[in-house]
Structure 1
């Protein structure tokens, strides 16, 4: 037994056209700006990043089949950040970070006297 579906084949909506028309183009402008910022950050820091676009579709109000569908678009940019600069520390006997090595003997330095007179040789 063969069944035939009488529904005509429909083409899915073009997502680029949908984004371009969503909120009269404001969504596409915002996404373009976020992508541009992401590309700049990736180029500047040499690390990967990502732009996540989420479509939120709510069911029709009150379950009415012919009611309109609320569709929202959210985005999240995860741009790379610069690597924080690190500094070296030693741990003292109490486990606290200190700049000078506590095992190193301290040397007493003094400032050499200065003069403005020069000797001819």
Structure 2
């Protein structure tokens, strides 16, 4: 026994509701289900890779025909919105020099001159 959504009174004339999963698998010969499965897989991969949350929103639109008469066909469409996390490049630290340009070296620090040390293959015994 089911209830009417408007009156919430028991109605004997309605069958069990259709299974949503069965509808989704059959909609547009399975193309929508395949697309949603691919997007879901991409979401799982992105969340595992980036360690941040994401979402896959599935929206089912149902529209009556113009000049609706009971028993007329309904237009049903399915939309998806994938919100997968993306990589965030790390920030780098820069200083600003006297001319207002970014530099990796602290302009307040004195620069040290480096020279290459001579190389040798001989080892001293200690």
TM-score (norm 1): 0.77
> Structure 2 unaligned runs (5+)?
1-8
Distance 1:22 1:77, change over 3 A: same
Aligned to 2:57: 52
Distance 1:120 1:72, change over 3 A: closer
Aligned to 1:16: 21
Q: In angstroms, what is the RMSD of aligned CA positions? A: 2.7
Alignment of 1:24-63 (within 5 A): 24-60=29-65, 62-63=66-67
1:101 aligns with 2:106: yes
Q: Residues of 2 paired with 1:94 and 1:10: CA distance?
A: 78
> Structure 1 unaligned runs (5+)?
none
Count of aligned residue pairs for this structure pair: 116
Q: Residues of 2 paired with 1:13 and 1:82: CA distance?
A: 40
SS at match of 1:44: helix
Residue 54 of structure 1: how far off its partner (Å): 0.9
Residue 11 of structure 1: how far off its partner (Å): 2.8
TM-score (norm 2): 0.74
Residue 40 of structure 1: how far off its partner (Å): 1.1
Pick the structure with more strand per residue.
Answer: 2
